Amino acid sequence: MTSDPYSARVRELFACADHAGDLEKPSARVQISEQDVRLALAADIDDDIIVCLRFRAWGCPHLLAAAEAFCRAYEGRSARKLLVFGAAEVMQTLPVPREKLGRILVLEDAVRSLGQSVRVSPDPGKDTD
C-alpha cells in the first residue's frame, strides 16, 4: 500500500510531457475551459491518419499525464478513433483516482470534439473554440 497519489506512469508522463506545445498549421484545434481545468488539443491529420498531436493544459498532474498519454497513443491511428475515445481507458491505465474523473471527462470531451471538428471542418487550421 502506498500513500503516493501518483503512479510511476503518471509521474513519467508528467515529467516528460513531450507533446505539450502547438502545431504550426493544425488540421483541427479545440479548447475547453472549466473552473479548474483548461485544455487545448491540436491535430495534424493526413488522409484520416493522425500524424501529430499536441496539447496545452492547465490542471492537475493527472490531467497533464492523461493528455500526454492520449497524444502518445493516438498518433498514427485513424482520426475516426477520436470519436469513440473514452475516459475509462485513461482512468484505468494511468491510473487516475475516482475524484479526478471530472477532469478526465474534460479530456474525453476535448478529444471527441477534436474528432468532430476534423470531420466537419474542411478548412485546415480552423479554430473550433
Partner 1 sequence: MNSDADIVYLDYAATTPVDPRVIEVMTPLFGPGGDFANPSSGHTAGRRAMARVERATGQLAELLGCGERELVWTSGATESDNLAITGAARYRADRGRHLITMPTEHKAVSDVFLRLEKQGFEVSWLYPDAEGVLDPAELEATIRPDTQLVSIMHVNNETGVIQDIEALGAVCRARDVLFHVDAAQSVGKLPLELGSMPIDLLSTTAHKIYGPKGVGALYVADRPGCHVEPLIFGGGQQGGRRPGTLAVPLIAGFGAAANIAMAEMQQNREHLQALNDRLWQGIRDLAGVVRNGGAESTFPGILSVSIEDVEGESLLLALEPLCVATGSACNSKSQEPSPVLRALGRSDLLAQSAVRFSFGRPTTREEVDFAVARYREAVARLRSIATGLVA
Shortest separation between residue 37's beta carbon and partner 1, angstroms: 9
Pick the piece of the chain touching partner 1 (CB under 8 A) from 28-36, 43-51, 88-96, 104-112. Answer: 28-36
Does 59 contact partner 1 by CB under 8 A?
yes
Does 20 contact partner 1 by CB under 8 A?
yes
Q: Which of 9, 16, 18, 33 binds partner 1 (CB under 8 A)?
A: 33
Residues 76 and 45: their CA atoms lie apart, in Å, by 9
Q: Which residues contact 69 (CB under 8 A, 6 or more apart)?
A: 9, 13, 90, 93, 94
Q: What are phi and psi of 98, to 5 degrees?
A: -60, -35
